[in-house]
Amino acid sequence: MGNLDTTNILLGIMAGVSVLEALLLIAIGVGGFVPSLARLLHVPMRTVELEPWALGMRFRSEPAGLHRHVVAPGSPAEGARIADLALGEDAWISMVSRRGHLVEIRGSTAFGAGDEVLLIGEPSANLGRLFNAPEHDCRADTCLHQPRDFATG
């Protein structure tokens, strides 16, 4: 069988298949060879565990009282217990995620740097002050927390 015969057979098979179906078949066929080809070419690949749980909600407009913060190192929230955090009367913590796991919300629960926190409260409560690192207001000759200019070193 020559190349011309093989081409005619392939064209005959493909004649009954739509372009979309043909592209899908090619993608599946090629995609299945990627791990083998990567090993052959010594391209590093890693297996990533799927995280099957996600929580997503959509709103028609931006919710005014919903706040999402990440606990910054050195922030007032880092190491603080929920019961000791100055949230005020009109704010409460709805959800805390730590390294991808839901944290039970109790008064004794302490925050760690990197925790993701979902709060409900008045926008005027300025809740970000609790989760952001404090800004240092000091003179250049006495401050240990100098901002570094990465452009000049």
Give the mean pLDDT of the chain: 76
Q: Which domain holds residue 127?
A: 55-153
146 pLDDT above the threshold of 50: no
For residues 69 and 34, state if they share a domain: no
Query: How many structural domains are present in the chain?
Result: 2
pLDDT recorded at residue 148 = 37
pTM of the model: 0.54
Q: What are phi and psi of 55, to 5 degrees?
A: -120, 115
The per-residue pLDDT for range 121-138, each reduced to its tens digit, is 887 778 888 999 887 555
Q: Give the number of other Cβ atoms within 10 Å of residue 127's Cβ.
A: 23
Is the four-CA dihedral 85, 89, 91, 94 of positive or negative sign?
positive
The per-residue pLDDT for range 68-120, each reduced to its tens digit, is 899 999 999 999 999 999 888 888 899 999 998 999 999 999 999 999 999 98
Q: What is the CATH number of the domain that holds 92?
A: 3.30.70.1450
The per-residue pLDDT for range 75-87, each reduced to its tens digit, is 999 999 999 998 8
Position 50 in a domain: no
